[in-house]
Amino acid sequence: MPAASPRGCKRFVTGCRGLDEISDDSLVRRRVGSVCLLEPDEQTGRLRAILGDRELVLPQELEATMRMLLDGSAVQVKQLEDLDGESRVVLIRRLIREGLLECVG
């Protein structure tokens, strides 16, 4: 499935200069109106994140992390303790590109 283009996601990075500026200290939250349904698959050990017309497949161990991101509260990237620093930033950038999250600081 194609990812959203970096140019098309600038509207979701309002509190940061750009995706390259996302770090452990960045503050993100679920974008108002975004759609995400989580479907764990016990047989495969994967977690499907259904984002409207797109789908991400993640390790099932990220279910608690994803649920924290979906509750609508602002979260500092370093609070995602299930992942190492680089992996946290990669996940957050992807979720911003997909329109699920926005950077607020």
- The values of phi and psi at residue 16, to 5°, are -130, 165
Q: Residue 38: pLDDT above 90?
A: yes
Domain assignment present for 39? no
Residue 15: per-residue pLDDT: 52
Provide the pLDDT confidence category of residue 14 given band limits of 50, 70 and 90.
low
Domain assignment present for 18? yes
Domain assignment present for 47? no
Domain assignment present for 58? no
Measured between alpha carbons, how far is 7 from 18 in angstroms, rounded to an integer?
Answer: 10
Q: How many domains does the chain have?
A: 1
Measured between alpha carbons, how far is 32 from 34 in angstroms, rounded to an integer?
Answer: 6
Residue 4: per-residue pLDDT: 43
pTM of the model: 0.82
The whole domain housing 75 covers 7-32+64-103
* Helices assigned H by DSSP within 1-105: 63-70, 85-97
pLDDT 10s digits, 44-97: 999 999 999 999 999 999 999 999 999 999 999 999 998 998 999 999 999 999
Residue 7: per-residue pLDDT: 43
